[in-house]
Amino acid sequence: MKLLAIETTCDETAAAVVEDGPRVLSNVVYSQIEEHAPFGGVVPEIASRSHVEQLTAVVEQALQKSQLPPSQLDAVAVAHRPGLIGALMIGVTTAKALAWAWDLPLIGVHHLHAHLEASALDGQQVAPPYLGVVISGGHTDLHRVEEMGTSRWLGGTRDDALGEAFDKVASVLGLGYPGGPAIEKAARVGNARAVQLPRTLLEKDSLDFSFSGIKTAVLYLWRGRNASYPGRAPGAPEPQDICAAFQEAVFDVLAQKIERACQQESLSEVVLGGGVTANQALREALAEKLGEKVRLYFPPLQYATDNAAMIGALALRRLEAGHIDDLELVAEAQP
Ligand code: KG4
Ligand code: ZN
């Protein structure tokens, strides 16, 4: 079976053609980063307008690269939740129109569940139950995944998502948007020992996260005790040292929570997904801290941040199981 998948939940306009395997026949991603960068973050209205402008061409390219005419497709899939509502509606409306015009089934896919499917694009099929860890710009969630479509939420962030914390720390340090890649690059030449940052673990058994404390700690380190400096305060640590210490602290917290969740739930396999998994230092830190205790699965690097191939991979499994939607499918901002 083969399908066209569409992703427009946030600031990537993406389409892919995926077949059983899952095998990616084409994967096109138009990143809006340059359009949002001057504002230091994603502007929802700009995102929606840009999806309208780009999506048709992105879908056409995905079809061309797959060398398949629509008549050889078995379904149209779309990420319909969660995300920016205006952005989601562009993808959902386009997918509905195509499914109707081509007389194909429509499959709505949960964006966060799809992030956990991205590692399957490398041929890594993990049998449930496993711990699903979504670390993206909007989410930091631990799920017990039982089988496709059924998962139990175990914990998540009480304030900033992990990717959001990267973005905000980068913004404080003047490193630009998106913050994740900028912090990773700076941290490579930084000395984590030069800076002390807090690790928030919350209650003894808690599987929740909180990253607002470390974000504020960075702000005070950089701007001075009352954050009154408009930029770097005299005597503030080197930015690359802050980045290295920040990464070390948040990866440490993440590893401890993953270990805690695996112990509480008697799980030994951990599937990770979401934009923050693009971070090579994170992969190394988790492998070092947890590699002997649990088995870790990461997505291939090109499928770590938002893309439509992962939407297609999950949609194929839904199609096989007969879980299809109809043209009443709606976009939903909430998970
Ligand atoms: O999954 P994603 O593309 O979009 C959402 O669903 O949110 O994740 C985007 C997030 C951003 O916060 C970005 O800063 C972060 O992923 N990110 C990274 C890296 N690349 C992207 N965080 C840390 N290190 C990276 N290399
Ligand atoms: Zn995402």
pLDDT of 149 reads 65
Give the distance (Å) from ligand 1 centre to CA of residue 248.
17
Q: Distance of alpha carbon 250 from its chain centroid, rounded? A: 16
pTM of the model: 0.96
Give me the residue spans of the domains in the chain: 2-118+304-320, 128-301
Please compute, for residue 274, the number of CA atoms within 13 A of its CA located in the half-sphere on the CB side. 23
- What is the number of the ligand 1 atom nearest to the C-alpha of 177? 14
Give the distance (Å) from ligand 2 centre to CA of residue 55.
17
Give the distance (Å) from ligand 1 centre to CA of residue 50.
19
Please compute, for residue 282, the number of CA atoms within 13 A of its CA located in the half-sphere on the CB side. 31
- Nearest residue CA, atom 8 of ligand 1? 275
Percent of the chain at pLDDT above 70? 99
- Nearest residue CA, atom 14 of ligand 1? 180
- Please state which CATH class domain 128-301 belongs to: alpha beta
Residue type, 195: V
**Rounded Cα–Cα distance for residues 285 and 296 (Å):** 12
Q: What is the pLDDT of residues 83-125, one digit of tens each?
A: 999 999 999 999 999 999 999 999 999 999 999 999 999 888 8
**Rounded Cα–Cα distance for residues 154 and 58 (Å):** 36
Q: Measured between alpha carbons, how far is residue 71 from residues 68, 163, 194, 214 in Å? A: 8, 39, 60, 53
Q: Considering every ligand atom, which ligand is closest to the CA of 179?
A: 1
Please compute, for residue 96, the number of CA atoms within 13 A of its CA located in the half-sphere on the CB side. 14
pLDDT of 148 reads 62
pLDDT of 304 reads 98
Name the phi and psi angles at 29, rounded to 5.
Answer: -130, 120
Could you tell me where the DSSP H helices lie in 37-81?
44-66
pLDDT along the chain (335 residues), means of 10: 98 98 97 94 97 98 98 98 98 98 98 96 92 97 87 97 97 94 98 97 97 97 87 95 98 98 98 98 98 97 98 96 96 96
Q: Considering every ligand atom, which ligand is closest to the CA of 135?
A: 1
Give the distance (Å) from ligand 1 centre to CA of residue 305.
6
**Rounded Cα–Cα distance for residues 184 and 223 (Å):** 21
Which of 3.80.30.20, 3.30.470.20, 1.10.1060.10, 3.30.420.40 would CATH assign to domain 2-118+304-320? Answer: 3.30.420.40
**Rounded Cα–Cα distance for residues 31 and 263 (Å):** 39
Q: Contact at 8 Å (CB) between 254 and 211?
A: no
- What is the number of the ligand 1 atom nearest to the C-alpha of 163? 12
Q: Do domains 2-118+304-320 and 128-301 have the same CATH topology?
A: yes
Residue type, 118: A
pLDDT of 164 reads 96
pLDDT of 124 reads 86
